[in-house]
Amino acid sequence: MSASDEDVFAAKDRMYGIGLMRDPYPLLHTLRATSPVHPGSFSGQYGLTGPDNLLYPDAEQVTVVTFAGVEQGFRDPALSSTYVKPALNKVIGRTILEMDPPDHGRFRLLIQGAFTKKEMERWEREFVRDIVRSYLLPLVPLGRADLATEFAFHYPITVTAVAAGLPVEDVPIFYKQAALLTNVAVPETDRLQAATELGEMVQEIIDERRREHRHDLIGILCRAELTDPDTGARNRLADDEIVAFLRLLVPAGAQTTYRTLTNVLYGLFSHPEQLDAVRRDRSLIPRAIEEGLRWEAPLMSFGRTCIRDTEIQGCPVKAGTKVNLSVQAANHDPARWENPDAFDISRPVQAHTAFGQGNHICLGIHFARMELRVALEEILDLLPGVRLDPEASDVHIDGLMARTAVHLPCIWNPA
């Protein structure tokens, strides 16, 4: 990355509170012990200004901090996904994130076929594992590297590009564009310029796929059809809908996977007995991934807009209120998990909220799990004895709205 690229990503990290908040959990436990719902934005609970404040500086906000309350919030039809519309619509376009039923159901049905488990098996077989290995193999003889900055940060965006059908040689360009698109703290003119550049790139590929089909994500979306049960009409996605979806997918598919992998790796590296268990039994990798997602989700809170008066766990929420569903507070609720602040891959498996829940559960859930599993398998295969560098100091996860191990200096036994 150039210095200017580093500035773009550092600015996004600052917006998410990375470098400003190491341990948010004591306050979350204090809040949860007094009420499931608290007035104010999620960032505001800590006296910080995050994207929730930047988006809605003058709106009445509440923050939900229990598992039961967050789960209820994800499923309550009184809480609308239009929360993200002002932030995304002008820059990214209309996407599934801002849609409520019935539009949400139509759009999701049109695109979910591109993310089936069967399709993910094909992606893994045809390119994902090769891409992961291409980033790890140059590191193997070195015996040491920062697996956050030299590996985890890079491979997900290349996987996303190849999956979508975007030109791999332009990966650095649209990674930077993606970071600008989703940073509401930067000037709108910069975000619009990034949106235009990425949109033009995607439109070129759409035009090619309309002429000649290929079995990449853009090609699949160009041909996706849904028959209206009432009229019999066959609906397809318009070009601008596909462009908007790709503008959404690029940052979502890259940054959340990068953050999650660093968190899972840190969880394992800081618990050597659990790392050894995974080394001995690779079938534990999915459990490690789910525990990592629960323990340190890549995003801490999801926003909703209350469109009519409702209640969350008996607490009244007025129409017009912005509702912050703290998935990470939910994932550390002792009413659901014993010793919730501990990383423990042996704990009983229960559903967490890192991917959301309800109608808006993450569309790329199978994609993320596959990418993370392949990365962990290849790290263990190619970097024998991999562990945190004992000479490194102050390696940790931090952040408020997003959680990341920014650095993971590691050593291993080179062949």
pLDDT at 303: 95
Chain mean position to CA 312: 25
Which of 81-85, 148-152, 357-361 is least confident? 81-85
The CA distance from 320 to 308, in Å, is: 7
Q: Is the preceding omega at residue 102 within 30 degrees of 0, hence cis?
A: yes
Pairwise pLDDT comparison (91 vs 53), residue with the higher score: 53
Confidence class for position 229, pLDDT limits 50, 70, 90: low
The CA distance from 31 to 25, in Å, is: 10
The CA distance from 214 to 321, in Å, is: 45
pLDDT at 87: 65
Query: What is the average pLDDT value for the chain, to the nearest integer?
Result: 92
Residue pair 144/411 in contact by the 8 Å Cβ criterion? yes
Confidence class for position 406, pLDDT limits 50, 70, 90: very high
Distance (Å) of CA 242 to CA 122, 209, 248, 391:
22, 12, 10, 48
pLDDT at 1: 39
Confidence class for position 6, pLDDT limits 50, 70, 90: low
Number of neighbours of residue 75 by Cβ within 10 angstroms: 12
The CA distance from 180 to 294, in Å, is: 28
Q: How many CA atoms lie within 13 A of 151 on its CB side?
A: 30
Domain segments of the chain: what residues? Answer: 3-411
Pairwise pLDDT comparison (133 vs 101), residue with the higher score: 133
Considering Cα of 79, then 85, then 86, then 87, what sign does the dihedral take?
A: positive
The CA distance from 335 to 65, in Å, is: 12
Which of 250-264, 336-350, 400-414 is least confident? 250-264
Share of the chain above pLDDT 70, in %: 97
Query: Does 338 have pLDDT greater than 60?
Result: yes
As its CATH architecture, domain 3-411 has Orthogonal Bundle (1.10)
Could you please report the per-residue DSSP string of 64-133? E-SHHHHHHHHH-TTEEGGGGHHHHTTTT-S-GGG--TTHHHHHHHHHGGGG-HHHHHHHIIIIIHHHHH
**Residues comprising the chain, all counted:** 415
Which of 174-178, 312-316, 341-345, 370-374 is least confident? 174-178
The CA distance from 185 to 13, in Å, is: 11
Q: What is the pTM of this model?
A: 0.93
pLDDT at 170: 85
- Using one digit for the tens of pLDDT, what is the confidence trace for 168-223? 888 888 788 878 887 888 888 888 898 898 899 999 999 999 999 898 999 999 99
Confidence class for position 133, pLDDT limits 50, 70, 90: very high
